[in-house]
């Protein structure tokens, strides 16, 4: 008797069976179900979107087993390794699977961010592959050891954003700042010089600033000529506001930031205090906003707030779950999925972690996309049914 995947490929099953397949509800082995879902997502115009949503929320352990199996069909492996569908949790299995092409992995390595690069740097296969090594060396995010390029001998570099959780009084070393600037040198050079401008919809001043006194500003970066010309002569970058009223303190922080060029704002994002980070996370210049997430001083509570903000760049919301330290925090996952500015592929990948109560709230949230709401409804139904079966 033909396998179900063969019948579906031949369009030899009725529409209601195809619909059931797209929802992942067929009584077939998990590996075959995933193969069916991939086929529908890629080739079926009617049920393809439903199948893609189902795959995005599919059980991670089952997906990892398929990603690690050399006998998995090429179409399935190509789907999982595609940058638009890649789930970071599956990457270690995909990296070591000899059936996954080195060209596909090299494509990811060339533009991957730090936490994904860590997986490549720890992969035995990546260390032995000239193609992957070449792609890694071309990646501007790679934190090199000295001036040496990746040659297979590196065991990975520490994530400076998670290596230490310093308090507000602890200084950030020049080495951390220079490592970030070196790692992102190509992006900084390619970014047009422009003053601080908050993302559309952001208020000029952060709400929390009223209750926080301004710390002594840190001398950072160089000041662009146009910004310096517009700054008051009595307010140099090193000026300390020690006895200002709350409104004056808030104005001081924004004014100081507005006088800095891109490199100066990056340094302040890494070295500054909580108030300054809450302003810079809303910077319309992507590399500046992303530098906030790499600050050794940043706390999980701050990132939880950032994940819920609608006045930050989508790149910031995409970068948060790529950092292992933040990806495992449930409040951060919940806030990202509920944020309408979060890119849909990020939301779909995180939804599988949500509790039923939060999925119910999400299914009624009219701010998020229809796709996210529909998947939330489906996941509530599935989890409710699973709970009912456990209690029988």
DSSP annotation string for 167-235: -TTSPPPHHHHHHHHHHTHHHHHHSPP----BPTT--SS-GGGGGSPPPPPP--S---HHHHHHS-TT-
Q: How far apart are CA 30 and CA 59, in angstroms?
A: 9
Identify the CA nearest to 336 among candidates 366, 358, 357, 360: 358
Domain finish residue from 107, 126, 148: 107
Residue at token pair 């507000």: 168
Which tens digits make up the pLDDT trace of 196-244? 888 875 444 443 333 333 333 343 333 333 343 344 443 343 333 334 4
With a CB cutoff of 8 Å and minimum separation 6, the contacts of 10 are none
Domain finish residue from 52, 73, 107: 107
- Looking at residue 155, its pLDDT comes to 38
- Looking at residue 329, its pLDDT comes to 85
- Looking at residue 204, its pLDDT comes to 41
Does 346 share its domain with 380?
Answer: yes
Does 316 share its domain with 387?
Answer: yes
For residue 90, the enclosing domain spans 4-107
Does 227 share its domain with 245?
Answer: yes
With a CB cutoff of 8 Å and minimum separation 6, the contacts of 230 are 259
Give, as one character, the DSSP assignment of residue 44: -
DSSP of 141-172? T---BTTBPP-S-------TTTS----TTSPP
Which stretch of 104-113, 178-187, 248-257, 350-359 has the lowest confidence by average pLDDT? 248-257
Q: How far apart are CA 192 and CA 364, in angstroms?
A: 41
Which stretch of 144-153, 259-268, 301-310, 334-343 has the lowest confidence by average pLDDT? 144-153
Q: Is residue 173 part of a domain?
A: no
Terminus-to-terminus CA distance in the chain, angstroms?
Answer: 34
> What is the pLDDT confidence band of residue 170, given thresholds at 50, 70 and 90?
low
Q: How far apart are CA 241 and CA 216, in angstroms?
A: 7
Q: Which position has the higher pLDDT, 249 or 351?
A: 351
Q: How far apart are CA 335 and CA 107, in angstroms?
A: 30
pLDDT above 70 as % of the chain: 78
Q: Is residue 324 part of a domain?
A: yes
175, two tokens: 């080495």
Q: Is residue 163 part of a domain?
A: no
Q: Which helix (H) or strand (E) holds 92?
A: helix 91-96
> What is the pLDDT confidence band of residue 148, given thresholds at 50, 70 and 90?
very low
Q: Is residue 30 part of a domain?
A: yes
**Residue 369, pLDDT above cutoff 50:** yes
Domain count for the chain, please give it.
Answer: 3
Does 248 share its domain with 317?
Answer: no
Contact by Cβ (8 Å): 313, 289: yes
Mean pLDDT of all residues in the chain? 79
Which stretch of 35-39, 185-189, 221-225, 309-313 has the lowest confidence by average pLDDT? 221-225
Q: Is residue 161 part of a domain?
A: no
- Looking at residue 245, its pLDDT comes to 46
Give, as one character, the DSSP assignment of residue 343: -
Does 32 share its domain with 78?
Answer: yes
**Residue 46, pLDDT above cutoff 60:** yes
Q: Is residue 22 part of a domain?
A: yes
Which tens digits make up the pLDDT trace of 284-341? 999 999 999 999 889 988 999 999 999 999 999 999 998 888 888 888 999 999 999 9
Domain finish residue from 263, 298, 333: 298
Does 286 share its domain with 314?
Answer: no
Q: Is residue 353 part of a domain?
A: yes
- Looking at residue 128, its pLDDT comes to 86
- Looking at residue 213, its pLDDT comes to 36
Identify the CA nearest to 346 among candidates 179, 113, 190, 3: 113
Does 266 share its domain with 313?
Answer: no
> What is the pLDDT confidence band of residue 159, given thresholds at 50, 70 and 90?
very low
Does 280 share its domain with 358?
Answer: no
Does 319 share its domain with 390?
Answer: yes
Give the global pTM: 0.52
Q: Is residue 170 part of a domain?
A: no
**Residue 167, pLDDT above cutoff 50:** no
Does 348 share its domain with 378?
Answer: yes
Which tens digits make up the pLDDT trace of 98-141? 999 988 898 888 877 767 778 888 888 888 888 888 888 777 66
Question: How many Cβ atoms sit within 10 Å of the Cβ of residue 119?
Answer: 19
Does 361 share its domain with 293?
Answer: no
Does 287 share its domain with 314?
Answer: no
């Amino acid at each position: 008797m033909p396998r179900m995947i063969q019948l579906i490929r031949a369009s030899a099953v009725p529409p209601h069976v195809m619909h059931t397949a797209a929802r992942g509800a067929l009584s077939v082995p998990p590996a075959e179900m995933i193969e069916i879902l991939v086929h529908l997502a890629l080739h079926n115009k009617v049920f393809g979107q439903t199948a893609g949503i189902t795959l995005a929320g599919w059980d991670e352990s089952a997906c990892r087993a398929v990603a690690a199996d050399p006998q998995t069909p090429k179409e399935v492996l190509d789907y999982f390794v595609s940058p638009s569908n890649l789930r970071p949790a599956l990457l270690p299995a995909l990296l070591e699977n000899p059936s996954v092409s080195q060209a596909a992995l090299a494509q990811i390595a060339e533009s991957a961010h730090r936490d994904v690069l860590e997986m490549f740097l720890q992969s035995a296969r990546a260390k032995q592959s000239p193609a992957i090594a070449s792609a890694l060396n071309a990646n501007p995010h790679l934190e090199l050891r000295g001036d040496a390029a990746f040659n297979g001998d590196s065991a990975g570099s520490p994530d400076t954003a998670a290596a230490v959780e310093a308090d507000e009084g602890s200084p950030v070393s020049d080495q951390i700042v220079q490592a970030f600037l070196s790692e992102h040198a190509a992006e900084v050079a390619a970014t047009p010089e422009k003053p601080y401008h908050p993302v559309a919809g952001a208020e000029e001043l952060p709400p929390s600033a009223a209750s926080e006194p301004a710390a002594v500003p840190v001398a950072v970066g160089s000041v662009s000529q146009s910004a310096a010309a517009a700054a008051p002569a009595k307010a140099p970058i090193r000026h300390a506001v020690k006895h200002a009223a709350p409104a004056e303190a808030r104005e001081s922080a924004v004014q100081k930031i507005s006088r800095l060029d891109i490199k100066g704002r990056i340094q302040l994002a890494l070295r500054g205090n909580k108030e300054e980070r809450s302003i810079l996370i809303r910077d319309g210049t992507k590399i500046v906003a992303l530098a906030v997430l790499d600050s050794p001083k940043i706390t999980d509570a701050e990132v939880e707030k950032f994940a819920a903000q609608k006045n930050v760049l989508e790149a910031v919301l995409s970068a948060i779950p790529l950092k292992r330290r933040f990806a495992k925090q449930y409040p951060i996952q919940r806030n990202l999925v509920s944020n309408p500015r979060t890119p849909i592929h990020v939301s779909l990948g995180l939804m599988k972690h949500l509790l039923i109560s939060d999925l119910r709230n999400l299914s009624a949230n009219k701010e998020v996309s229809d796709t996210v709401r529909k998947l939330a409804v489906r996941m509530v139904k599935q989890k409710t049914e699973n709970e009912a079966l456990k209690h029988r």
